[in-house]
Amino acid sequence: MDIISHALLGASIIADKELLLPAVIFGAGPDLINGIPVHLYMVWKRKKENKSWPEIFQILKNPHEWKKAPTWTHTTYLYLHSFWFALLVGVVTYFLYPPWLVLTKAWFLHIGLDFFLHRDWFGVKPFYPLSSWQLNLINWFETPLKYLGLPISLLIFLLVYLR
């Protein structure tokens, strides 16, 4: 699922206007923490290859380009999308600022959705590193969900926050 949909659904599951921004961040957290450094690396690498900015942005829009990313990318992705890491996020959140513990629901939702909507290289291994098991159902970006995910997420978000 795309990062904006994760952010919107994360905020929707929290459903608290006072926690809106942190809920958006927690909802997108696994992809933000992994995606920002990887995208910066991929842009830097493509600039070294003298690619133009339009070419670079076209490359970054292609999910299959991630398979060419460095191996640390995939390892980081697996950790950030594991229930163990989400539990760690919850524990750290609880000790730093207990009222925000509820925000970990958004992180768990992110992992749960990706568990059903990703496979192969993007497959979520929920018990990583203790297990490499994954479900391998579909890749959302290879289905009509790539067009429906954002409007559905936005609709849910608006229904929750505009009530």
pLDDT tens, residue by residue, 17-70: 999 999 999 999 999 999 888 888 888 988 999 999 988 888 777 777 777 788
What per-residue confidence (pLDDT) applies to 85?
97
CA–CA separation, 86 and 43 (whole Å): 29
CA–CA separation, 60 and 71 (whole Å): 17
Residue 73: band (very low, low, confident or very high) from pLDDT cuts 50, 70, 90: confident
pTM check: above 0.95:
no
Q: Roughly what angle, to the nearest 10 degrees, separates helices 20-48 and 104-117?
A: 50
CA–CA separation, 40 and 61 (whole Å): 14
CA–CA separation, 54 and 51 (whole Å): 8
Q: Rounded mean pLDDT of the chain?
A: 92
